[in-house]
Amino acid sequence: MIVILKKNVSQSMIDQLCGELRSRGLEIHDSNGTDAHILGLVGDTKAIAESWILAHPAVETCRRISEPYKKANRKFHPDDTVVQVGDVKIGGGNFAVMAGPCSIESPQQMELVAQRVKAAGASILRGGAFKPRTSPYSFQGLRSEGLDLLLEAAGKTGQPVVTELMNTEHLPLFEKVDMIQIGARNMQNFELLKAVGRTKTPVLLKRGLCSTLEELVMSAEYIMAEGNENVVLCERGIRTFETSMRNTLDISAIPMLKKMTHLPVIIDPSHAAGIAWMVEPLAKAAVAVGADGLMIEVHNDPAHALCDGAQSLTPDQFDNLMGDLKAQLGFFGKTLN
Amino acid sequence: MIVILKKNVSQSMIDQLCGELRSRGLEIHDSNGTDAHILGLVGDTKAIAESWILAHPAVETCRRISEPYKKANRKFHPDDTVVQVGDVKIGGGNFAVMAGPCSIESPQQMELVAQRVKAAGASILRGGAFKPRTSPYSFQGLRSEGLDLLLEAAGKTGQPVVTELMNTEHLPLFEKVDMIQIGARNMQNFELLKAVGRTKTPVLLKRGLCSTLEELVMSAEYIMAEGNENVVLCERGIRTFETSMRNTLDISAIPMLKKMTHLPVIIDPSHAAGIAWMVEPLAKAAVAVGADGLMIEVHNDPAHALCDGAQSLTPDQFDNLMGDLKAQLGFFGKTLN
Amino acid sequence: MIVILKKNVSQSMIDQLCGELRSRGLEIHDSNGTDAHILGLVGDTKAIAESWILAHPAVETCRRISEPYKKANRKFHPDDTVVQVGDVKIGGGNFAVMAGPCSIESPQQMELVAQRVKAAGASILRGGAFKPRTSPYSFQGLRSEGLDLLLEAAGKTGQPVVTELMNTEHLPLFEKVDMIQIGARNMQNFELLKAVGRTKTPVLLKRGLCSTLEELVMSAEYIMAEGNENVVLCERGIRTFETSMRNTLDISAIPMLKKMTHLPVIIDPSHAAGIAWMVEPLAKAAVAVGADGLMIEVHNDPAHALCDGAQSLTPDQFDNLMGDLKAQLGFFGKTLN
Amino acid sequence: MIVILKKNVSQSMIDQLCGELRSRGLEIHDSNGTDAHILGLVGDTKAIAESWILAHPAVETCRRISEPYKKANRKFHPDDTVVQVGDVKIGGGNFAVMAGPCSIESPQQMELVAQRVKAAGASILRGGAFKPRTSPYSFQGLRSEGLDLLLEAAGKTGQPVVTELMNTEHLPLFEKVDMIQIGARNMQNFELLKAVGRTKTPVLLKRGLCSTLEELVMSAEYIMAEGNENVVLCERGIRTFETSMRNTLDISAIPMLKKMTHLPVIIDPSHAAGIAWMVEPLAKAAVAVGADGLMIEVHNDPAHALCDGAQSLTPDQFDNLMGDLKAQLGFFGKTLN
């Protein structure tokens, strides 16, 4: 970390700051030029908050040089992490497709969709039981009953499942769930992150609507710091000024996250676009840019879906898309897993 | 709600859509022009999700006309709501200042700050016991022990307290807390909103970093729909492209929220600016624009604060600010409460 | 256009509004429900500004249904437009790569880069003569002398050139330029748009840093309304809260623009990323998502570039990228032109 | 400027970089720690582009410490600049109100509005002759004829005028204009900035919709570097994700700009809000936060305005507002000028 001192501060104030920094185990490189007086802090600055440094009266500003994350950092773990969900591998050349309805509505719906997405090549079944909805008057999901329907449908097709956890108190209900999703709105629900960090279940961590990539990685670090290193990151669109799409897919996040971290990174084009016809081109862009997988909403009858029908593919549309993606994955040398 | 139909859709498809809409209790005004075929839906459209309408194959687009919130809506409740915290009134001409340290650190700190902010005119004591931090390696708050210190300090000065709740499982610890804060990162933690909605404790609901005003009001509606109508909204800065401040204070949110809703609205200039020297001008703007209160971070020794020192005022700075604000409140005809 | 009236306005006020609307040639469909009183305006609403409607005291709000653009609108021109620059075709299955240095620096530099990018497969030579720089103290380009160097280098390789015009007064200097670039900062410099609209030279119109897609198309409409229909749109990254990249590439803009308009759309991954190593994955995503071309910065010696060196590829890096892209274009059935 | 080197780069590469930096007149402080190797550059780094440093293969990243602007910098000019427009002073405790219609429409309109705003206390008359409109089909202003009407109306009331210049070729028409406005869309039209910099006419420089404060000050620096130091900055709302207002007023920009620069700073609440009823609270916030003036749209008949009627005050509404503002300016110790 670099600390830039204010001009004309007394030496005693600087000495006092340096004393505090040294007492936290840091070594100090002092560089006093005509333009600026700079302290270079050497050592483990991970736990030093910038706001703490900035509050000192001698400090003009400070800049972090080394990343504030460690377990997720590719510098300390150069190889790609491969996360295993059931017998499905994600990362390190393995490409996985998670598909299913936005919300679980009935046994018939789940079974039909499970069979169709499995047949089309999706290895992991998704479905929402607990639904985060903007309005208290919207359908809130079938909750624990929905979880049962999801597991039942997946049991018949032999797919592992991924579904969203919204509250630590629901964790006991998720024991048989193969992969726990932390949704965009809970990306900085730190108590929830710690709770899933104490399990061994793989976690799909979605980026918040206005979270920076560094914040996303720091949230992964919360999970990993508790002992669970099975984290898959998911870009699902960010909020910008543009209104013609539901969200703006930040496609550059994929190569940037892969530089920052060794964790697998997937894309959710359904939420990014919010419109079914746009899922196809975005899914193809995801493969080309180097993502490790996709999460796609598929519904047997989008016009009657209780949630997000406008962005759901029909099983037939999903079949066509998967046909194209299989060829494209072959071209790019990835294994559909 | 206005539904705009696609061109050249079959009458049978339109009939099918109208049948479904009528089965949900809506009346339909059909207006078929040369340019556009429009359905006007009349009735309670609050529970009709736009995504459900948009998923229908006959629909081009749709627009909500009436607001999707009811209990928070000023149209159905024209008078200002006055929320009472202990014996402090907020709203309806009553202006309240909440002040205290970002995080509770020690009995000495809390007592000193409590006495100083009380003497300066702050009626409610704030202090963080459970701290949402971006990094798992940053100080996470004294947690339940911190709550005790806060209540103890407030007991000596006779102030009510406000402090942040991060997880439903901690709710039993908050029994003696006078006002529960829901932080920006949890504004759409819907399970948490429902849980505080089932209490009678006043709630301070902070706007999320990239939440629209309508989303903020919908989150208030979650709390109110469960039975707790004691909600105070708080604008604390949004995330934009500008990097010279920590966040961008959306000052227009105050008049707009007051038009949308009857709930009191306060401003947190400390988090908005992220810099202590900017708290003063923003606090003055808050009074002038018509806010019902302020939340301000005050620390006895900002340079050694465990959290957010850079944006904390010293007790002396807070004294000066309150002196100015008292005169300004007098000028604007507000009562400091 | 749909006009939603306020409740409880007098009939005479409504009659007065309807009279004005009819006097502008619009037909009115009146739909008065219990919840809302709505006027549907039928006719040519392109020249009706929403702000004019909103200013009427009887009006609550209004919504445009039909797009405010006509010449660029795919609805009235379903086939892809193919823009021809020299003998290079862009659009309708023809993929074109424009490459060259950010700024033109010397004859040697331009000749070397021109030969290398031509050999690698770029059909159009780019180079900046007039440079829009944030700081008045940064290199402002070689200006008219730079234009001569660009045309000279292109003359030797037989490539058409594209270069940025910043001011209407410079237009006479651009007579031999094959394609005029309107930069992101001038996307709403309407006098400049009109001026290039009065030429027959193909125009590369870059999206502004915070311009919506509709605004981009409206700027194309300015050019087309003056008579020049040879417009190519370019997505080059938008400004968001994310700071790890220079800009956020809005990849969804490609399919959305292609739905809105019949004009070709290309991507500039160099400006979007601002980092040379990220150009490759973004360029591949551009092909997969359906773009009609790429604009890429190539410099013989990025470390000594007078502008944007950090995002420039070396000729060798560009060779490798073009090798990959040729195979990928073949896979996707596009013709490199 | 601080340059952070990559790990494991050869000494010869570092020596080569240092040689280049020294050849540009910079002194280098070399600080090689175990964690990071840092070069501190001392001297005039204003003309050193970060992108140039970042392009060097030995460089990891770099950070500017001193501001890239000089003439606008408060550090080198601690006293407030007072800009004089006609005999109206702006800045240094002098508060000026500019008011008038969005667009000039007729002699009658301009005379009526000029008399009313003058009587209410506005010292400068505004009115748009050349209008930047998103759509080519919207009213583009009366252009040079409008300028004549504006000057004529102001001649009768004795007010100086401010009006927008959109193109360098129109400059000869602006000879009698007292203050030239550079609009938000042209904030980075650098040729236009240079052109007004070569005049002596005071300039009102509006912040771009997504321009950072540093970029705004750099655009002022363009004007000042050409010799014209009579620049007034104007915050008029930025573009964010929030859709309930036209733009988001960045009120914090006022104190921040006043820290960065010695130039006067005013607020345009009409464009920020886009809604007439919100002008009043925002204008009051502007006074409280320390702005040096206001620009407000006033129209004799907003419902028939050719541009921006929805955000225009009537003369009566403006009277009331000015009454309130006069009292508030007295309270805050400012002189209405």
Q: Which residue reads 């009366």 in tokens?
A: D142
What is the identity of the amino acid at C185? R
Cβ pairs B/D, distance under 8 A: 109
Q: What is the pLDDT of residue B14?
A: 92
Domain assignment present for residue C68? The answer is no
Q: Which of A63, A86, A107 is the last residue of a domain?
A: A63
Give me the percent of chain B exceeding a pLDDT of 70.
Answer: 99
In this predicted complex, what is the ipTM?
A: 0.93
Q: Could you tell me if D140 lies within 8 Å of chain A, comparing CB atoms?
A: no
pLDDT tops 80 at residue A34: no
Which of D196, D178, D205, D181 shows the shortest CA–CA distance to D88? Answer: D178
Same domain as A83, residue A55: no
Going by the DSSP 8-state scheme, the letter that residue A40 receives in this structure is: E
Nearest CA in chain B to D246: B252
pLDDT tens for A126-174 read 999 999 999 999 999 999 999 999 999 999 999 999 999 999 999 999 9
- What's the farthest any 2 CA atoms get from each other in chain C? 75
d(CA B208, CA B213): 9
Give me the percent of chain A exceeding a pLDDT of 90.
Answer: 79
pLDDT band, very low/low/confident/very high, at D237 (cuts 50, 70, 90):
very high
pLDDT tens for B302-337 read 888 888 888 999 999 999 999 999 999 999 999 998
How many Cβ atoms sit within 10 Å of the Cβ of residue D124?
26
Which of A217, A212, A202, A251 shows the shortest CA–CA distance to A91? Answer: A202
Summarize the confidence of residues B154-172 as an average pLDDT: 97
Residue B31 belongs to domain spanning: 2-63
Going by the DSSP 8-state scheme, the letter that residue D174 receives in this structure is: G
Q: Could you tell me if C273 lies within 8 Å of chain A, comparing CB atoms?
A: yes
Q: Is A69 left (phi over 0), alpha (psi -120 to 50) or beta?
A: beta
| Structure tokens that stand for B147 in this block | 């709550």
pLDDT tens for B42-75 read 888 877 888 888 888 899 888 887 888 999 999 9
Compute the C-alpha angle C263/C267/C270, nearest 5°: 155
State the total domains in chain A.
2
Residue among D138, D166, D188 minimizing CB distance to C49:
D138
Domain assignment present for residue B160? The answer is yes
| Structure tokens that stand for C323 in this block | 């090798």
Summarize the confidence of residues D277-284 as an average pLDDT: 98
Helix (H, G, I), strand (E, B) or coil at A139: coil
Which of C2, C20, C19, C14 shows the shortest CA–CA distance to C62? Answer: C2
Q: What is the pLDDT of residue B35?
A: 65
Q: What is the pLDDT of residue A94?
A: 97
Which of D207, D131, D129 shows the shortest CA–CA distance to D161? Answer: D129
Contact D55 C310 (CB under 8 A): yes
Q: Could you tell me if B281 lies within 8 Å of chain D, comparing CB atoms?
A: yes
pLDDT tens for D248-260 read 999 999 999 999 9
Q: How far A119 CA sits from the closest chain B CA (Å)? A: 24
d(CA C102, CA C181): 13
Phi, psi of C234 (to 5 degrees): -135, 120
Which of B316, B302, B313 shows the shortest CA–CA distance to B276? Answer: B313
Q: What is the mean pLDDT of chain D?
A: 94
Domain assignment present for residue B302? The answer is yes
Q: Which residue has the higher pLDDT, B59 or B31?
A: B59
Contact C288 A288 (CB under 8 A): yes
Residue among B238, B243, B255 minimizing CB distance to D281:
B255
Q: Which residue has the higher pLDDT, B283 or A1?
A: B283
Q: How many C-alpha atoms does C123 have within 13 Å on its Cβ side?
A: 19
Same domain as A295, residue A170: yes
d(CA D166, CA D143): 10
Give me the percent of chain D exceeding a pLDDT of 90.
Answer: 80
Domain assignment present for residue A29? The answer is yes
Summarize the confidence of residues D157-172 as an average pLDDT: 98
Same domain as C96, residue C32: no
Q: Could you tell me if C54 lies within 8 Å of chain D, comparing CB atoms?
A: yes
- Which CATH number characterizes residue A48's domain? 3.30.70.1140
Do C127 and C147 touch, CB atoms closer than 8 A? no
d(CA C320, CA A217): 31
Q: What is the mean pLDDT of chain A?
A: 94
- What HEC string does D196-229 produce? HHCCCCCEEEECCCCCCHHHHHHHHHHHHHCCCC
- Which CATH number characterizes residue B160's domain? 3.20.20.70
Domain assignment present for residue B266? The answer is yes
Nearest CA in chain C to A240: C240
Do B297 and B99 touch, CB atoms closer than 8 A? yes
pLDDT tops 90 at residue C90: yes
Q: Is D269 left (phi over 0), alpha (psi -120 to 50) or beta?
A: alpha
Domain assignment present for residue A233? The answer is yes
Helices B279-289 and B315-331: crossing angle in degrees, nearest 10, is 20
pLDDT tens for C228-256 read 999 999 999 999 999 999 999 999 999 99
Helices A279-289 and A315-332: crossing angle in degrees, nearest 10, is 20
d(CA C120, CA C116): 6
Helices C190-197 and C213-225: crossing angle in degrees, nearest 10, is 40
Same domain as D131, residue D51: no
**Which residues of chain C make contact with A249, given a CB cutoff of 8 A?**
250-252
Q: Which of B42, B63, B84 is the last residue of a domain?
A: B63
Which of D331, D265, D282, D322 shows the shortest CA–CA distance to D298? Answer: D322
Q: What is the pLDDT of residue B33?
A: 67
Contact D136 C218 (CB under 8 A): yes
How many Cβ atoms sit within 10 Å of the Cβ of residue D158?
12
d(CA D327, CA D320): 11
Same domain as B267, residue B156: yes
Which of D197, D107, A262 shows the shortest CA–CA distance to D127? Answer: D107
pLDDT band, very low/low/confident/very high, at B238 (cuts 50, 70, 90):
very high
Cβ pairs B/C, distance under 8 A: 61
Which residues are CB-contacts of A155 (< 8 A; sequence separation ≥ 6)? Answer: none
Contact A42 D65 (CB under 8 A): no
pLDDT tops 90 at residue D274: yes
All chains having 3 or more CB pairs closer than 8 angstroms to chain D = A, B, C
Which of C159, C240, C247 shows the shortest CA–CA distance to C206? Answer: C247
| Structure tokens that stand for C204 in this block | 């590369």
**Which residues of chain C make contact with D308, given a CB cutoff of 8 A?**
51
Same domain as A157, residue A43: no
d(CA B282, CA D133): 33
Which of B87, B169, B159, B82 shows the shortest CA–CA distance to B130? Answer: B169
pLDDT tops 90 at residue B31: no
pLDDT tens for C154-192 read 999 999 999 999 999 999 999 999 999 999 999 999 999
Which of C233, C264, C275, C301 shows the shortest CA–CA distance to C77? Answer: C264
Of A85-99, B60-74, B262-276, least confident by mean pLDDT is: B60-74
Nearest CA in chain D to C46: D137
Q: What is the pLDDT of residue D35?
A: 65
Q: Which residue has the higher pLDDT, D155 or D1?
A: D155
Q: Could you tell me if D228 lies within 8 Å of chain C, comparing CB atoms?
A: no
Q: Exposed (0-12), middle (13-18) or buried (19+): which is B243, by Cβ within 10 Å?
A: exposed
- What HEC string does chain B produce? CEEEECCCCCHHHHHHHHHHHHHCCCEEEEEECCCCEEEEEECCCCCCCHHHHHCCCCEEEEECCCCCCCCCEHHHCCCCCCEEECCEEEECCEEEEEEECCECCCHHHHHHHHHHHHHHCCCEEECECCCCCCCCCCCCCCCHHHHHHHHHHHHHHCCCEEEECCCHHHHHHHCCCCEEEECHHHCCCHHHHHHHHCCCCCEEEECCCCCCHHHHHHHHHHHHHCCCCCEEEEECCECCCCCCCCCECECCHHHHHHHHECCCEEECHHHHHCCHHHHHHHHHHHHHHCCCEEEEEECCCHHHCCCCHHHCECHHHHHHHHHHHHHHHHHCCCEEC
All chains having 3 or more CB pairs closer than 8 angstroms to chain A = B, C, D
Q: What is the pLDDT of residue A67?
A: 87
How many Cβ atoms sit within 10 Å of the Cβ of residue A226?
16
Q: How many C-alpha atoms does A307 have within 13 Å on its Cβ side?
A: 24
Same domain as B118, residue B226: yes
pLDDT tens for D96-124 read 999 999 999 999 999 999 999 999 999 99
Q: Exposed (0-12), middle (13-18) or buried (19+): which is B198, by Cβ within 10 Å?
A: exposed
pLDDT band, very low/low/confident/very high, at A125 (cuts 50, 70, 90):
very high
| Cα–Cα distances in angstroms (integers) from residue B57 to residues A297, B12, C52, in the given order | 17, 12, 33
Summarize the confidence of residues A207-221 as an average pLDDT: 97
Contact C31 B31 (CB under 8 A): yes
Q: What is the pLDDT of residue C33?
A: 67
Which of C271, C315, C139 shows the shortest CA–CA distance to D52? Answer: C139
Q: Which residue has the higher pLDDT, B30 or D172?
A: D172
Q: How far D298 CA sits from the closest chain C CA (Å)? A: 12
Q: What is the pLDDT of residue A33?
A: 67
Contact B27 C34 (CB under 8 A): yes
**Which residues of chain D make contact with C138, given a CB cutoff of 8 A?**
47, 49
How many Cβ atoms sit within 10 Å of the Cβ of residue A125?
27
d(CA A263, CA A254): 11
Residue among A138, A167, A186 minimizing CB distance to B49:
A138
pLDDT tens for C259-284 read 999 999 999 999 999 999 999 999 99
d(CA D163, CA B110): 56
pLDDT band, very low/low/confident/very high, at A57 (cuts 50, 70, 90):
confident
Residue C27 parent element (H or E) = strand C27-32
Estimate to the nearest angstrom the gap between the alpha carbon of D243 and the chain centroid.
Answer: 23
Q: What is the pLDDT of residue D79?
A: 96
| Cα–Cα distances in angstroms (integers) from residue A5 to residues A35, A61, C59, C241, D75, in the given order | 11, 7, 57, 27, 16
Contact D239 C210 (CB under 8 A): yes
pLDDT band, very low/low/confident/very high, at B153 (cuts 50, 70, 90):
very high
| Cα–Cα distances in angstroms (integers) from residue C97 to residues A17, C100, C232, C271, in the given order | 55, 10, 13, 15
Estimate to the nearest angstrom the gap between the alpha carbon of D79 and the chain centroid.
Answer: 19
Same domain as B224, residue B141: yes
pLDDT tens for D183-196 read 999 999 999 999 99
Domain assignment present for residue C202? The answer is yes
Beta strand B179-182 pairing with B161-164: parallel
pLDDT band, very low/low/confident/very high, at B34 (cuts 50, 70, 90):
low
Do A254 and A267 touch, CB atoms closer than 8 A? yes
Domain assignment present for residue B258? The answer is yes
Same domain as B53, residue B82: no
Q: Exposed (0-12), middle (13-18) or buried (19+): which is C219, by Cβ within 10 Å?
A: buried
Same domain as A95, residue A35: no
pLDDT tens for C17-54 read 999 899 988 888 887 766 678 888 878 887 788 888 88
pLDDT tops 90 at residue A85: yes
pLDDT tops 80 at residue D36: no
Q: What is the pLDDT of residue D34?
A: 62
pLDDT tens for A255-296 read 999 999 999 999 999 999 999 999 999 999 999 999 999 999
Q: Could you tell me if B44 lies within 8 Å of chain C, comparing CB atoms?
A: no
Which of A51, A49, A46, A190 shows the shortest CA–CA distance to B297? Answer: A51
pLDDT band, very low/low/confident/very high, at B37 (cuts 50, 70, 90):
confident
pLDDT tops 90 at residue A51: no
pLDDT tens for B79-94 read 999 999 999 999 999 9
pLDDT tops 90 at residue B29: no
Same domain as D301, residue D238: yes
Same domain as A305, residue A231: yes
Q: What is the pLDDT of residue A312?
A: 94
Q: What is the pLDDT of residue C71?
A: 96
Q: Which of B35, B63, B91 is the last residue of a domain?
A: B63
Summarize the confidence of residues C285-312 as an average pLDDT: 93
**Which residues of chain A make contact with C241, given a CB cutoff of 8 A?**
210, 212, 238
